[in-house]
Structure 1
């Protein structure tokens, strides 16, 4: 089996992790694993103070890594959403849902939402981790 680690130049430098990993060499579909993505720009700086802005940027980053691995949004099979405040997420659920539909359509992966005390970057409110099949 071949493991291909993918780190698109459009994303912040991957230090201690890879943005996406594709496993190939087995018959059939190849799994793609996308590292947790926060709402950072290419320099690694969080963009936006609100959860909707951060969710949008984190999703954009996840999709950059996914596409660099050769998969499209409808190939997402699993998504874990880590949040520092589920209450804030729920308060903006309609806006966040629109962000998802604008970028990914209505192809919804298996999903979990987990509240955490804090994320790696103290300014981050949301982190998205995904898996896909291409």
Structure 2
């Protein structure tokens, strides 16, 4: 079971949960994903395009492990240009809702000077807890 905890004594979260409690039998540790395509090339010129590809890559790995977007319990977004990312927050939120819906894991956004691939603007890394069918 996955339970999202958002105490009223903390600020109302927008696009994340303050805490996520997991009582599941299968944990999935998802490697950081950038906007690499199947040919190993970074695709997308904007942070929104790259976020969509990176999140899609993460979800592909999660599905291959037997999970769904609702199984995500923690996500870290590494961001090369925080001001650019914040300026496009609405568009990034729209990508999130289209690919995942309204489920928000515990999240962190971290500004970095660069990523492994110099063309990469964003990288997403996460954890998922896949529930047994009897738990859903």
- Fold-level similarity (TM above 0.5): yes
Corresponding residue SS for 2:44: coil
Distance in structure 1 (CA, Å) of the matches to 2:92 and 2:74: 17
Higher relative contact order (Cα pairs below 8 Å, separated by 6+ residues): 2
TM-score by length of 2: 0.78
Q: How many residues align?
A: 108
* 1:36-92 deviation digits (Å, cap 9, x = unpaired): 000010011000110000000000000000000000000000000000011000000
Pair 1:102-2:105 in alignment: no
Distance in structure 2 (CA, Å) of the matches to 1:34 and 1:91: 27
TM-score by length of 1: 0.79
Runs of 4+ in 1 over 4 A off after TM superposition: none
Distance in structure 1 (CA, Å) of the matches to 2:28 and 2:109: 20
Check 1:79–1:28 CA distance in 2 against 1; reply closer, same or farther (3 A cut): closer
1:95-134 mapped onto 2 (5 Å cutoff) = 95-134=91-130
Question: What's the counterpart of residue 37 of structure 1?
Answer: 33
Q: Which runs of 5+ in 2 are unaligned?
A: 1-22, 131-136
